[in-house]
Amino acid sequence: MAPKAAALAEAERLMEAFRRAGALPVEADILQPAEVLLDLYGEDIRARTYVTADPLRGEMMLRPDFTVPVVQQHMTEGAEPARYCYAGEVFRKQEHLSDRRSEYVQVGYEVFTRDDPADADAEVFSLFNAVLGDLHLRAATGDIAILMAAVRALNTLPSRKAALLRHIWRPRRFTQLLARFGGTAPVPPTRATLLEALAAGRTPEAGPLLGLRSRAEIDARLAALREDAAAPPISAEEVARLQDLLDLTARSPAALAQLRELSREMPAILPAVDRMEARLNALARRGVDVEALDFEASHGRTTLEYYDGFVFSFHAADPALPPVASGGRYDALTAVLGAGRSIPAVGGVIRPGLVADLRGAPC
Amino acid sequence: MLKLGLPSKGRLMEQCFDWFGARGITLGRAGSDREYAGRVEGAEGLELVLLSAGEIPREMAAGRIHMGVTGSDLVRDKLADWDRQVAELAPLGFGHADLVIAVPAGWIDVDTLDDLDAAAAAFRRAHGHRLRIATKYHRLVRDFLTEHGVADYQLVDSQGATEGTVKNLTAEAIADITSTGETLRANHLKILADGLVHQSQAVLYAARGADWGQGAGTALATLAPRLGITVPAL
């Protein structure tokens, strides 16, 4: 990988383009309080971040990204609408022996606006597309909002939908749960035994209850298990339709047509599909070749779980390389960090070190 | 010289000495019981280094010893990409212990990882923080829970008396080593049906990053048939 100087020079070029697009440059501390980030991302991020103990401020983290501090800054002091850009090092532990860097430069662009979300999505994507245009990258897009709408529309218990929504970002677990709720995977033997006992009016013997989790919480879960056992499985047709949706990959216009087709049986996804169409129109207006733009319905399902709408990434030809750029919409995150307030937001980051490498590489 | 690192005390050390002794190599402490220098009889070019079992993975990763015996749990937990840093030469058949996930026995609704995940989601909603799992095996437990799609938990570090953390309200569940399950039961904890993270035992490893020149490689090749092992590509 290019030396840091080359990455920083490329970062400056990108920052200039982002400033010209109307973004206000912002800074973020390198040392961030660990608690917010850990609560938000969980153990996945702890494994990847450098956590250290500050004698006065408690657990601190070398910033793993800028999104959270930038959102926090905006939620406390930002005027609306707002466009921000930033550049600086981020730190990620590498858990596998490889050439991947644990310290690299990231440049980002974030838009906070209540106006025309489809156009804000298109603004970020087309800007990235333009600044990376000479590198011949492959762009991939997706839309988590369509998946969420499809899950919410399932004709089943709210608790099952909540479980599936929670695991959209863990595809393997999602598939297992869907099989369970669809009645095609067996109930675990321990669960079957428990349900039998409960049905017979017996509460299984157990030792004293220790810890913070209360009797009421256990009773609530037992009630949920009974409710789940009594509910009919999600129909095979519904499971198949959802699977078709998850498996959908095509060029954007064809994907849109297939989603329209699917929405005849899943009308609940229509608003999200309409928004996708509006976004494609906005992208076309902004000069993006949407005919060639890949859409993968499951795109973004293995990233950190805060995207809840449009998602995108740009990749070099070498599959061993991390994405050159990635981003998406994260409306819900602003509510989590906004202490009662929220604002629709979309943004993305570029790795200028990779850009410099690709520019430097012989064609 | 071929440097062999062994645990410096206790039953594990004795069992290591016995294992090598049964193969005609007499190992022991030099001088008094308190001294950590080792002595070797019956193997040319072999040097014994006595170390804390917990440090042996790191010493192998750093290439300061060529071979080492320690628990497979420690190697897999302390070394990222462990199998690219060390090679397994032989499982030694002792030091058996299971790393398991255990929850309060009073949680009659939780018997599997699937249950744990559902309980964690509800717990986080009710308490405003993630369900805490106390352990000293962070990498193994995190990888295991990620693999099985458990979310909404957090690991809290516990270097000892982990079984007591639930009663002390510093954790809701634990992941710890057990051989008979006795201590868990005594502390009113139960093992999840599918909560076996790793079955550990003492293993003889070779350090891939050590300098295998200057006689070390040859010494291992000479030793290998006596130990009944095949030397992997290092």
pLDDT by 10s per residue, chain A, length 363: 568 899 999 999 999 999 999 999 999 999 999 988 888 888 888 888 999 999 999 999 999 999 999 999 999 888 889 999 999 999 999 888 877 889 999 999 999 999 999 999 999 999 999 999 999 999 999 999 999 999 999 999 999 999 999 999 999 999 999 999 999 999 999 999 999 999 998 888 787 899 999 999 999 999 999 999 999 999 999 999 999 999 999 999 999 999 999 999 999 999 999 999 999 999 999 999 999 999 999 998 887 678 999 999 999 999 889 999 999 999 999 998 988 889 999 999 999 999 999 988 644
Q: CB A170 to CB B106 under 8 A?
A: no
Q: What DSSP character marks residue B43?
A: -
Nearest by CB to residue A43, choosing from B112, B121, B155, is B155
**Contact criterion met (CB below 8 Å) for A57 and B41:** no
In 3-state terms, what secondary structure has residue A247? helix
Nearest by CB to residue B118, choosing from A42, A47, A163, is A163
Q: CB A220 to CB B122 under 8 A?
A: yes
Locate all alpha helices (DSSP H) within chain A, ordered by sequence.
Answer: 4-20, 34-41, 43-48, 67-77, 117-131, 144-152, 158-166, 171-181, 189-199, 215-230, 236-247, 252-265, 270-285, 331-337, 352-360
* Chain B residues with beta carbon closer than 8 angstroms to that of A165: none
Count of beta carbons in the 10 Å neighbourhood of residue B195: 22
| Domain boundaries for CATH 3.30.930.10 within chain A | 1-137+323-363
Give the CATH superfamily of A1-137+323-363.
Bira Bifunctional Protein; Domain 2 (3.30.930.10)
Nearest residue of A to residue B172, measured between CA atoms = A211
User: What is the C-alpha to C-alpha distance for residues A9 and A7, in angstroms, rounded to an integer?
Assistant: 5
Of A57, A58, A61, A83, nearest to A70 by C-alpha is A83
Q: How confident is the model at residue B33 (pLDDT cuts 50, 70, 90)?
A: low
Q: Does A99 touch chain B (CB under 8 A)?
A: no
Q: What DSSP character marks residue A290?
A: G
Half-sphere exposure of B85 (CA within 13 A, CB side): 23
User: What is the C-alpha to C-alpha distance for residues A98 and A111, in angstroms, rounded to an integer?
Assistant: 34
User: What is the C-alpha to C-alpha distance for residues A294 and B131, in angstroms, rounded to an integer?
Assistant: 39
Output the pLDDT for position A293. Answer: 97
User: What is the C-alpha to C-alpha distance for residues A69 and A74, in angstroms, rounded to an integer?
Assistant: 9
Give the CATH superfamily of B97-200.
Periplasmic binding protein-like II (3.40.190.10)
Q: Does A194 touch chain B (CB under 8 A)?
A: yes
User: What is the C-alpha to C-alpha distance for residues A276 and A252, in angstroms, rounded to an integer?
Assistant: 9
Nearest residue of A to residue B146, measured between CA atoms = A44
**Contact criterion met (CB below 8 Å) for A263 and A243:** no
**Contact criterion met (CB below 8 Å) for B197 and B144:** yes
Q: Does A35 touch chain B (CB under 8 A)?
A: no
Output the pLDDT for position A363. Answer: 42
A199-203, B20-24, B176-180: the lowest-pLDDT one? A199-203
Q: What is the helix (H) or strand (E) element at residue B29, kind and residue range?
A: strand B26-29
User: What is the C-alpha to C-alpha distance for residues B66 and B211, in angstroms, rounded to an integer?
Assistant: 8
User: What mean pLDDT do residues B17-36 have?
Assistant: 86
Question: For chains A and B, what is the number of CB pairs under 8 angstroms?
Answer: 119
User: A352 or B181: whose pLDDT is higher?
Assistant: A352
Q: CB A218 to CB B118 under 8 A?
A: no
Minimal CA separation from B161 to chain A, in Å:
15
Nearest by CB to residue B149, choosing from A39, A172, A222, is A172
Of A326, A332, A330, A333, nearest to A139 by C-alpha is A326
Q: Does A339 touch chain B (CB under 8 A)?
A: no
* Chain B residues with beta carbon closer than 8 angstroms to that of A173: 117, 148-149
Nearest residue of B to residue A168, measured between CA atoms = B149
| Distance, C-alpha A21 to centroid of its chain | 25
Count of beta carbons in the 10 Å neighbourhood of residue B70: 29
Q: CB A213 to CB B80 under 8 A?
A: no
Minimal CA separation from B49 to chain A, in Å:
28
User: What is the C-alpha to C-alpha distance for residues A91 and A169, in angstroms, rounded to an integer?
Assistant: 22
CATH of domain B2-96+201-227: 3.40.190.10
* Chain B residues with beta carbon closer than 8 angstroms to that of A167: 149, 151
| Domain boundaries for CATH 3.40.190.10 within chain B | 2-96+201-227, 97-200
Which tokens is A230 given? Answer: 């009594």
- Mean pLDDT (chain B) is 94
User: What is the C-alpha to C-alpha distance for residues A234 and A189, in angstroms, rounded to an integer?
Assistant: 21
* Chain B residues with beta carbon closer than 8 angstroms to that of A221: 109-110, 118-119, 122
Output the pLDDT for position B74. Answer: 96
* Chain A residues with beta carbon closer than 8 angstroms to that of B117: 173
